[in-house]
Structure 1
Amino acid sequence: MSSRLSPTEFLYGCSIDPAVLELRPDYRALLLVAEGLEPQADNEVADDLIRRAEARAAALLADAPVDQLPQISAWRDAYRSFGAKPQRTRNSLEALTRRAAAGLPRVNALTDIYNAISVLHQIPLGGEDFERYEGPTRLARATGEEEFDTIAAGEPAIEHPEPGEVIWRDDAGVTCRRWNWRQGRRTALSAETTTAFFILDALAPLADGQLEEAGEALGQALESLGSAVQVSKRMAGAL
């Protein structure tokens, strides 16, 4: 498990397969681990971020259809590059932005913070339980044999990605399908999560500085979730 690795060892063990960068040479990921979290804490920072994210989404959608927003459009193109239909399987940023204008879902401070940062900075952002990983994560194209632990028809189920699909995975199987579409159950955040792992995805026209700004905003917000929170980061991809 990842608990055998320090956050720095974990982060520098993560990788992006060249086959993925062939699809999108402009892809970058900011990887972040936050230790010492108290995810059930009442948190005014999360409340403020949610309000700001909802206002940001409303303003964006007043000026353009959701599928024409720059990062959402870029991710729709990325999905098409490996055969996914973006109108049927929306990337996480698009799904949240569509919901945010009418009100983001509230879960707990930890989840609310990263959902709000995703919308505010228009970056797909996934959060998972660091301790539930089996080795570092890697972004790859699926063979179709990998296992994905999910819920289907209200029941636990094991699915398999399509061959060639872009997936995040660890040594035990798929942790997120279709780049940033659906996260698995095994590594999901929970009420017991005290160390979390985050992936911030970026494609052109988003610049490295904007990606780093989003990571800084996420790190600062997470520091409000405990007196001993420590944040480690690493940039990966087309630098």
Structure 2
Amino acid sequence: MRFQHVTALWQDFPTLVPGVLHVRGIRTGVPVDRPVAAYEAVAAERLAEVPESGFPEVAAWRRAFSAMGLKPTRYRCASESLLRRLRREGSLPRIHPLIDLCNAVSVAYGIPVGVFDLSRISGNLHVRYADGDEAYETFAGGTERPDAGEVVFADDGHRAHSRRWTNRQSGLSAVRDTTTDVLIITEALHDSAPQDVPKLVAALADELRAAWSAEPTTAVLTREAPVFTC
């Protein structure tokens, strides 16, 4: 399958830096408590100095949401939502070893990290503006239709695997106990994203090797080289 952002998004958001990892052999029962705690501690140190709204990574997404006509204090990117929860509760919920790890890396870097079960994706996956008739499955099992012009992750089956770009993932392709093959996507827009995203991708790849003895395929995409194939 191919993953890419459409040309219009590169034009509208020229500071976009996406990182991608593909990994097979994911399973439950893998201990990740130590790295999760370490990444959460990094985030907690940053939060002790400034609230998440002051993170440049988050501020850039707030500007993007405003540019898309979304109220950024109502619709937040995934990393901001996780940082808010970490600040208020002191830790993040434990869901699945891979999700726990990716969430912890996300808050440490302040950058959204999405994880998709590839067995639930039909054909290719594009980040694009919605037509308005895509099917989005909620975590509760309901179905929504994204607004026309909304940024979504959409597959060839015309199913939306996110809403409002990095705001909310679909329950359809969420990681579950049976998940083995995943695509991990991180996206940043802030000034130092060209340096930060490769560091995040490398750190996450190292953790996947250590925890799952898996060898991920990784890439940092650009406007000139926007396609990831797996």
TM-score (ref. length: structure 1): 0.87
1:103 corresponds to: 91
User: Identity over aligned residues, as a percent?
Assistant: 31
Q: Deviations over 1:201-239 (max 9, x none)?
A: 111213323211111111111123334x12112222346
1:55 corresponds to: 41
Contact 2:96–2:176 under 8 Å retained in 1: no
2:228 corresponds to: none
Q: Which amino acid aligns with 1:63?
A: E
1:158 corresponds to: 143
Q: Which amino acid aligns with 2:169?
A: Q
TM-score (ref. length: structure 2): 0.90
Q: Deviations over 1:45-100 (max 9, x none)?
A: x2122222332222222222321210000001111111111111111010111112
Shift of the alpha carbon at 1:35?
0.8
2:227 corresponds to: none
Tell me whether 1:29 sits opposite 2:15 in the alignment. Answer: no
SS at match of 1:128: strand
Q: Following the alignment from structure 1 to structure 2, what is the Cα–Cα distance between the partners of residues 234 and 84?
A: 30
Q: Following the alignment from structure 2 to structure 1, what is the Cα–Cα distance between the partners of residues 195 and 53?
A: 24
Q: Which amino acid aligns with 2:21?
A: L
Contact 1:15–1:137 under 8 Å retained in 2: yes
Structure 2: gaps of 5 or more residues: 225-230
Contact 2:30–2:212 under 8 Å retained in 1: no
Contact 1:23–1:78 under 8 Å retained in 2: no
Q: Which amino acid aligns with 1:129?
A: D
Tell me whether 1:16 sits opposite 2:5 in the alignment. Answer: yes
1:146 corresponds to: 134
SS at match of 2:131: coil
The correspondence for 1:131, drawn from 119, 137, 150, is 119
SS at match of 2:165: coil
SS at match of 1:20: helix
SS at match of 1:230: coil
Shift of the alpha carbon at 1:135?
1.2
Structure 1: gaps of 5 or more residues: 1-9
SS at match of 2:216: strand
Q: Following the alignment from structure 1 to structure 2, what is the Cα–Cα distance between the partners of residues 50 and 108?
A: 12
Tell me whether 1:214 sits opposite 2:200 in the alignment. Answer: yes
Q: Which amino acid aligns with 2:20?
A: L
Q: Following the alignment from structure 2 to structure 1, what is the Cα–Cα distance between the partners of residues 133 and 40?
A: 39
Identify which range, 102-111 or 15-24, moves more after superposition.
15-24
Aligned length: 221
